[in-house]
Amino acid sequence: MEANEQGFGPGAAAGALKAPPHRSANSNEAIAISLTRTGENGVKPIAQFHPKFTYPLFEEEQIFGYQGLKINLRYDAADMRPNVKMTYEKKYEVVGDTEPADVASVLTEFLPEVAFQSEKDFIAATKDISEDFKPPGELLQSLDNEEGPYEIWKGNLADPAVRKLVKRMEVMVLFYIEGGSTIVDDSEPEWSLERWTVYFLYQKKWATPEQDVSRYTFVGYSTVYRFHMLEAHTPPATPVEGRKEFELPKGEFSLATLPCRLRISQFLILPPFLHKGNGGRLYHTIFADLLAQEHCKEVTVEDPNEAFDDLRDHSDLKFIRTLPELDAIKINMDWKATDKQDRFDIVDPKAVEALKKRTKIANRQLRRLIEMHLMSQLPESVRPFLPTETKVSVPLRTTADKKVYRLWKQYVKARLYRHNLELLAQMDKSERIEKLDEVQGSVELEYLRLLSLSKSRDEAGTTASASSQNGASVKIEGVSKKRPLEAALKDEKESKRARLEDESSE
């Protein structure tokens, strides 16, 4: 039987057959995504790939009722104008209460109307766009590498051009970020849309060596959401009886001038551009831009997955090691454990606060970076090493070496203890000590892995990794995987009392 073709107009292709219940297509395999350019000879794909996840669209990632199903989701490589084309060999009739999936109806929930126009309309709209197109927003930074120039553009979701581009391809967030979802809502007021900043990463190439014409290829993007925050008064606020009544600002007032926390919410690099340092380029540029904003008091990442955490840890650690404020971050060898001594005092709290103010990195992330850096500075005789590493000779441990290592572990445990206080309170003393030792050991191994990874990336001159590019998603969109070595430690019965974690909302 000839393959039927459906351009997503009304009605379906003819030739329905009765289907046994197992006639389903794997939606991850059926959907093929391509970046294309349109020229005189028609539409030419320049990259093709498949989704990683499709469960937000199709339950259990199965599409019932088709044989030989293919869904081709094409995007113009420059302006990401989408076009959907579906073909199949057979479509089956209703079996009992089960009928073939209405693919068109599902896709219309996640793609703009323009995606369902005819191929003729798609060709006409994209034929000359490569030479004329420029990304929306403003050019933030130009970057050069061996593959040619890259550009990062910055815009606001209140800008119609930015919003149109995001709406066209944000289904990719569902395909590649576990727990992600779309953010564009045209019914939102402008002041709400203005809270979203979007960063687009494009590769720029000359059309031909002879022509002074450049072509843009979409590589990835990230979104940042602005939360307004109330700052604690230092010194303490004026007593109520002596305080003036609060007055609203007069005249025009911009919410953007209020103190805020900026949260990296979505972060996506398309599969053809992974393992090339693009995630590192985009993250580094975004972080530098957020850090430079006067009203930003803290930069956070919402629910990063393990791979994105690696990218972030490497970039953040590399950054703080360039700062003079890090010189004051040292283990206090004179610290002694007493009832009045806080274990956080093992490292000068004022030095930590100064580093936080300089970097605007959230508390948990900054503490981890400090712990990681201090571990790398431990004397060789006590410095942990990976089981895969071999040391020919290790210096003898001195009393001072043993002490500094013991203090470092106490400093790590102080953070773990504070975060897990409620669970630890349910355990007796011996069990508490055992669980803290267990988690601290896992943290130590994780830091060793990260330091080794960071070193190898520095030596390779890239921040790319196997899957480090994709994985941040906003809280309201769901959750992502957690860091395994610092996540919940469970006993054999999976009881709540035995769960001890090193996870904290930023």
CATH number of the domain to which 296 belongs: 3.40.630.30
Answer yes or no: do 373 and 403 share one domain: yes
Give pLDDT, residue 3. Answer: 46
Residue 30 has pLDDT above 50, yes or no: yes
What DSSP line would sit under 377-434, residue for residue? TS-TTT----TT---S--PPPPHHHHHHHHHHHHHHHHHHHHHTHHHHTTS-HHHHHH
Answer yes or no: do 118 and 208 share one domain: no
Sign of CA dihedral 263, 269, 275, 278: negative
Q: What is the pLDDT of residues 118-166, one digit of tens each?
A: 999 999 999 877 677 899 999 999 998 877 899 999 999 999 999 999 9
303 or 481, greater pLDDT? 303
Answer yes or no: do 67 and 112 share one domain: yes
Confidence of residue 231 (pLDDT cuts 50, 70, 90): low
Helices 349-359 and 363-376 pack at an angle, to 10 degrees, of 120
Task: Find the angle CA(222)-CA(226)-CA(232) to the nearest 5 degrees.
Answer: 140
Residue 250 within a domain: no
Of 111, 129, 147, which residue sits at a domain end?
129
20 or 86, greater pLDDT? 86
Residue 139 within a domain: yes
Sign of CA dihedral 313, 364, 372, 377: positive
Q: What is the pLDDT of residues 35-78, one digit of tens each?
A: 999 988 889 999 999 999 999 999 999 999 999 999 999 999 99
Q: Do 442 and 372 contact (CB within 8 A), yes or no?
A: no
Q: Please tell me the distance from the alpha carbon of residue 329 to that of residue 373, in angstroms, as a whole number.
A: 9
Confidence of residue 99 (pLDDT cuts 50, 70, 90): confident
Torsion angle of C-alpha atoms 154, 155, 156, 158, degrees rounded to 10: -170
Confidence of residue 392 (pLDDT cuts 50, 70, 90): low
Percent pLDDT > 90 in the chain is 60
User: For this structure, is 380 an active site residue?
Assistant: no
200 or 490, greater pLDDT? 200
The three-class DSSP label of residue 343 is helix
Q: Facing residues of 298 across strands?
A: 261
Answer yes or no: do 177 and 207 share one domain: yes
Of 96, 129, 162, which residue sits at a domain end?
129
Structure tokens at 41: 């000879």
450 or 461, greater pLDDT? 450
Annotated binding site: 267-269, 305
Confidence of residue 15 (pLDDT cuts 50, 70, 90): very low
- Mean pLDDT, the chain, whole residue set: 83
392-420: average pLDDT? 91
Structure tokens at 401: 């070496």
Q: Please tell me the distance from the alpha carbon of residue 371 to that of residue 406, in angstroms, as a whole number.
A: 13
Give pLDDT, residue 235. Answer: 56
For residue 185, give its domain range.
134-231+257-301
CA nearest to 29, candidates 74, 61, 76, 75: 61
Of 56-70, 332-346, 371-385, the poorest mean pLDDT is in 332-346
302, 371, 446, 477: the catalytic one is: 302
What contacts 81, CB < 8 A, 6 or more positions away? 75, 114, 122, 125, 126, 129, 168
Q: Please tell me the distance from the alpha carbon of residue 72 to that of residue 77, in angstroms, as a whole number.
A: 15
Residue 240 within a domain: no
The three-class DSSP label of residue 187 is coil
Of 271, 301, 331, which residue sits at a domain end?
301
Q: Given its phi and psi angles, is residue 269 left (phi above 0), alpha (psi -120 to 50 degrees) or beta?
A: beta
Answer yes or no: do 218 and 200 share one domain: yes
Q: Please tell me the distance from the alpha carbon of residue 402 to that of residue 405, in angstroms, as a whole number.
A: 5
Answer yes or no: do 21 and 140 share one domain: no
Answer yes or no: do 122 and 143 share one domain: no
CATH number of the domain to which 96 belongs: 3.90.360.10
Residue 477 within a domain: no
Q: Please tell me the distance from the alpha carbon of residue 471 to that of residue 457, in angstroms, as a whole number.
A: 19
Annotated binding site for acetyl-CoA: 267-269, 305
496 or 107, greater pLDDT? 107
Answer yes or no: do 108 and 67 share one domain: yes
In the block, tokens 């579906």 appear at 86
Residue 225 has pLDDT above 90, yes or no: yes
Answer yes or no: do 377 and 462 share one domain: yes
Answer yes or no: do 377 and 460 share one domain: yes
Q: What is the pLDDT of residues 261-318, one digit of tens each?
A: 999 999 999 999 999 999 999 999 999 999 999 999 999 998 888 889 999 999 999 9
The three-class DSSP label of residue 147 is coil
Give pLDDT, residue 429. Answer: 87
Structure tokens at 254: 């911009």
Q: What is the pLDDT of residues 188-212, one digit of tens each?
A: 999 999 999 999 999 998 655 555 5
Give pLDDT, residue 240. Answer: 55
Give pLDDT, residue 48. Answer: 97
Confidence of residue 483 (pLDDT cuts 50, 70, 90): very low
256 or 370, greater pLDDT? 370
Give pLDDT, residue 166. Answer: 98
Give pLDDT, residue 274. Answer: 94
In the block, tokens 């028609």 appear at 42
Work out how many domains the chain is built from and give that number. Answer: 3
Backbone angles phi, psi at 393, to 5 degrees: -145, 140
